[in-house]
Amino acid sequence: MLNKIKFTKNQEVSHQGTSSLCRRRAWQSQGTKILAQVNRVRRPQRWDAAFGRERIHPDWVNLILSSQILGDINPADFPDDLSLADIVTNDCAIKWCSRGEIVYAAGSYQTSIFVVLNGGVRVSDDAGTDHAGEPTAMPQLNAWLSPLLKGKFGRGESNVTRFPTVRLGRYEMFGEVEALTRTPRSNTAVADVDRTALLEITWPGARELLHWSDTFRSSVEELYRARSVEVGLKESGLFANIDPETLVAIAQQCSFERHGSFDWSHVYQRENATRQPSAQMIEQEPVIIEQGHYLEDMFLIRAGFARVTETVHDNESSVGFLESGDVFGLAEIEEGLIFGSHPNAERGLRSVGYTDLIRIPEHIVGKFILPGSKRRNRGAAPAPGQTPHGDLSLLDFVVDNRFINATNAMVIDTTRCVGCDDCVRACAAAHDGIPRFVRTGRTHANLMVTSACMHCTDPVCLIDCPTGAIHRDAFSGSVVINDDTCIGCATCSSACPYNNIQMREVTGPDGAILIDEDGSTHLKATKCDLCAGQSGGPACQRACPHDALTRIDIRDIDILSDRQSRV
Amino acid sequence: MFGVARNTMVTLGAVVAVYWLISFYGTALRDPRFLDGWILTAAMFVQLLFHIRKKLPASPLGRAATWLKMHVYLGYFVIAVFLLHTSFSLPETTLEWALWIMFALVVVSGVVGQYLTSSIPGKLQQRYAEQMTFDKIPTARLNLFREVNALVLDTVTPDGSSEVSDFYVNRLRGFFRRPQNLRAHLRGSRRPLERITSEITDLERRVNAPDRKTLSSIKKLVTAKYDLDHQYTVQGLLHSWLFVHIPATYSLIVLSILHVAVAYAYSSGVQ
């Protein structure tokens, strides 16, 4: 601790560019005063606070472990300091629901996996309809109104019967698709009978089970693949007028594929450290299909991102990117069916990070999709002379730096920014005097994407958090940190591909730094929280007098392009 | 463009309305200077609110960008009302002169500031792919200084020539230690850089191959330092106009209060 503080102060001295002995002594004296104020307290540990309101009773834990609730899971697979019983006790909760009570609402960001212990659950079959899919204000409204509706209108009868539903019974698992892909709920789950008991496995618990138990992992993966195809086809809207039985038959003919890896951030960090040119980055990305190759299926992107490339004179460059819900190859298959020829991919497709996709066979496309299809098809070849996103260098910048992941990036127009730092001051004023971003970042032309949390579509920072302290707000989807459960392990900070999470020393109520019994400082992860809980939205954006700073969903690259060309 | 046209029209409309109101007020045998004086005071108070908004950066008082737009257009309105208030004539008393000069200072610094903030960032962006943050420039300058020092020290060997180190001590040390050529940077001139680089080129002809390599590296560092100084000067200019605008504003407020008190103390009673 002593060394650390002295080191920090000396570092500052060297940054100031002075070697004045007096000043250095003043710093050291100040450091000593700070040391005199430190409080020694025990560092918070994982499972200090159980996930549920109270820990699961040992009888329930024994029941869960002795039955087939979690499948053929073997307690011996788990290490001694992370036993299966401990995981169930601390990272799971028993959720009791009465008939009609909403377990989770479509569009909400919630990453637990559920297993029915008793009673039953109805999962709405409304994916791809107006009731599901993109996050809206509805999940919040549903959740708020749920207790009212339950009491006033037949105990939530309407929630059970309003939409076509699929019933899940005892020991059936649900919610694994969104837990694995970190996407909003695609359907609504409602308790079917009174005293329905659910085992809620939080993401940290589920992650440990997936990591240590091969049987659990394979059963979840199998379920994920099977359901992902059906849910993906429904959500895509490509089969909007197809009856459920036919859709099940179609789903059986489609296949699921994963390219790249869920753990893409560490690979990207390695690549990014060397700041390779675009062409080199493209080469390292897994190929889904090469330009000119036979295209036997249409691809529907289920999760993650893919880069559409074009190869001219052996130079492969980006011409677009695809995200969840986009399709690739529709135009080629359509052309092939019209002219009776074999469709070849007019462009290449590579996985950016990871890409989950559904292969839809050519004959299904011809029979069910092409008639009357008005589906967007950003991967298909555009009209001659046009490109899907206009400025290709901007596209390269966005894809190479993985900014396509950003739903709320802080973008500064450098032709307007005068460096007044009002944004930094506003951020500090909104967060107890400590700003949560640095006004530097990668630049393309006049656009700078600053080092502020971008609230990613796929927030890899929360995958390995041991306590689930970093999570997505259930309603807005923004990535936030619960200070009460953050144990300062820095896992999120090192996982963030953009280095947008900082570790800060924790001070007590009297302003003194907290240190552990072994002398190390208590740290907490901090990052932009979009000024959650404050009226008016992000303070940085409101404080910019020159309209230089905006928060942008970079997935809509046209907005970025407009911002770039703004006069 | 639509926004600019709309805001300009609204400002002009407000000026015409005030002019009409003053004329109407005068026909009632009242002293219109009290009316336009109070309009001016009220408008100046609203102008001051922008400063308060800036002091409360995280407050939910609307977007600062909207406030700035209002500040600029209201500023033009204030100039027009000031001219009406003074009847387009020069002041007579010492207090009025002080008030007039301070008002002019606030207006000129504001207009200059507006020009600088709208023109400099674009020019900087065109010239530099990646700009240095103003507060990081001293650290970057120090790093360049250390880098060039290390390069020169490497050339000093017991049997080696001292031409590079002599040139460095006599010609470059001061250049690397602190910001230089501020006036040239304000003019946008690269003449001082060309002069130094041509001197290095001359020296390159007289030294051995390893020193020539060192000089080539030094030349790159000289260019980097010159660009750093340019950024420092121009970004400094972006901040410096506020050191005139804000103190002058505070002085103007004090003098205005004094002016109101004096005006009422010596008024004829017809307001």
Render pLDDT for A472-505 as a digit per residue (tens, 0 to 9).
998 888 999 998 889 999 999 998 988 999 999 8
Most confident of the ranges A221-230, A374-383, B225-234: B225-234
Edge-first strand listing for the sheet containing A113-118? A92-97, A196-201, A113-118, A173-174
**Residue A385: predicted pLDDT:** 35
Q: How far is B183 from chain A (nearest CA, A)?
A: 21
> Distances from the Cα of B173 to the Cαs of A334, A555, B179, B180, B208, in angstroms?
70, 49, 12, 11, 22
- Give the whole-angstrom CA distance, residue A255 versus residue A259: 13
Residues of chain B in contact with residue A542, where contact means CB-CB under 8 angstroms, are: 58, 60, 62-64
**Reduced to 3 states, what is the DSSP secondary structure of residue A73?**
coil
Assess whether pLDDT exceeds 70 at residue A144: no
The pLDDT tens digits of the residues spanning A438-484 come to 888 888 888 999 999 999 988 989 888 998 899 999 888 899 999 88
Confidence of residue A328 (pLDDT cuts 50, 70, 90): very high
Tally of CA atoms within 13 A in the half-sphere of A542 that contains its CB? 23
**Residue A480: predicted pLDDT:** 93
- The dihedral sign for the CA sequence A226, A232, A238, A239: positive
DSSP structural state of residue A407:
S
The pLDDT tens digits of the residues spanning B168-214 come to 999 999 999 999 999 999 998 999 999 999 999 999 998 888 889 99
Q: Considering only alpha carbons, which residue of chain A is nearest residue B121?
A: A415
Please indicate whether residue A131 or residue A52 has the higher confidence score (pLDDT): A52
Confidence of residue B261 (pLDDT cuts 50, 70, 90): very high
The identity of residue A406, as a single letter, is: A
Q: Considering only alpha carbons, which residue of chain A is nearest residue B178?
A: A17
Assess whether pLDDT exceeds 50 at residue A66: yes
Length of chain B: 271
Q: Average the pLDDT over A513-532 and give the result.
A: 88
Domain residue ranges in chain B: 2-128+241-265, 134-238
The pLDDT tens digits of the residues spanning A73-105 come to 888 999 988 899 889 988 898 999 999 899 999
**Residue A153: predicted pLDDT:** 38
Q: Which of A14-28, B6-20, B29-43, B230-244 has the lowest mean pLDDT?
A: A14-28
Q: Considering only alpha carbons, which residue of chain B is nearest residue A442?
A: B130
Angle (CA) A81-A85-A90 rounded to 5° is 85
Q: How far is A423 from chain B (nearest CA, A)?
A: 8
- Give the whole-angstrom CA distance, residue B243 versus residue B198: 38
> Distances from the Cα of B44 to the Cαs of A255, B8, B74, B86, B103, in angstroms?
70, 19, 9, 16, 11
- Give the whole-angstrom CA distance, residue A302 versus residue A175: 16
Query: What's the whole-model pTM score?
Result: 0.80
**Residue A244: predicted pLDDT:** 81
**Residue A490: predicted pLDDT:** 92
Most confident of the ranges A154-163, A174-183, B115-124: B115-124
B interface mutation test: which of A414, A418, A438, A540 has the most B CBs within 10 A?
A418
| Average pLDDT over chain A, rounded to an integer | 80
Indicate yes or no: CB of B57 within 8 angstroms of CB of A539: yes
CB atoms within 10 A of CB B9: 10
- On whether the CB atoms of residues A380 and A332 are closer than 8 A, the answer is yes
The identity of residue A70, as a single letter, is: L
Q: Which of A239-253, A266-280, B1-15, B169-183 has the lowest mean pLDDT?
A: A266-280
- The dihedral sign for the CA sequence B185, B187, B192, B197: positive
Q: What DSSP line would sit under B119-171, residue for residue?
A: HHHHHHHHH-SSPPPGGGHHHHHHHHHHHHHHHHHHH--TTS--HHHHHIIII
**Residue B117: predicted pLDDT:** 93
Nearest to A387 by CA among A444, A313, A320: A320
Q: Average the pLDDT over B34-54 and give the result.
A: 92
Assess whether pLDDT exceeds 80 at residue A165: no
- Nearest neighbour of A547 by CB, restricted to B65, B122, B133: B65
- On whether the CB atoms of residues A497 and A269 are closer than 8 A, the answer is yes
- The dihedral sign for the CA sequence B185, B189, B194, B196: negative
Nearest to A115 by CA among A146, A88, A85: A88
Assess whether pLDDT exceeds 90 at residue B216: yes
Number of residue pairs across A and B with CB atoms under 8 Å? 75
Residue B135 in tokens: 């507060």
Confidence of residue A48 (pLDDT cuts 50, 70, 90): confident
- Nearest neighbour of A418 by CB, restricted to B56, B117, B142: B117
Indicate yes or no: CB of B238 within 8 angstroms of CB of A446: no
**Residue A375: predicted pLDDT:** 47
DSSP structural state of residue B93:
S
CB atoms within 10 A of CB A124: 23
Q: Which of A125-139, A489-503, B253-267 has the lowest mean pLDDT?
A: A125-139
**Residue A408: predicted pLDDT:** 93
**Residue A347: predicted pLDDT:** 92
Indicate yes or no: CB of A542 within 8 angstroms of CB of B121: no
- On whether the CB atoms of residues A521 and A514 are closer than 8 A, the answer is yes
The pLDDT tens digits of the residues spanning A108-117 come to 988 899 999 9
Please indicate whether residue B2 or residue B224 has the higher confidence score (pLDDT): B224
- Give the whole-angstrom CA distance, residue B150 versus residue B36: 67
Confidence of residue A135 (pLDDT cuts 50, 70, 90): very low
- On whether the CB atoms of residues A329 and A380 are closer than 8 A, the answer is yes
**Residue A190: predicted pLDDT:** 92
Confidence of residue A149 (pLDDT cuts 50, 70, 90): very low
Confidence of residue B271 (pLDDT cuts 50, 70, 90): low
Indicate yes or no: CB of A546 within 8 angstroms of CB of B117: yes
Binding-site residues on chain B for chain A (CB distance < 8 A): 54, 56-58, 60, 62-65, 67-68, 117, 120-122, 124-125, 129-131, 133-134, 138-139, 141-142, 235, 238-239
**Residue A562: predicted pLDDT:** 85
A interface mutation test: which of B2, B52, B123, B130 has the most A CBs within 10 A?
B130
Q: How far is A439 from chain B (nearest CA, A)?
A: 8
Say which residues have a Cβ less than 8 Å from residue B231's Cβ, sequence separation at least 6.
B124, B128, B131, B132, B134, B137
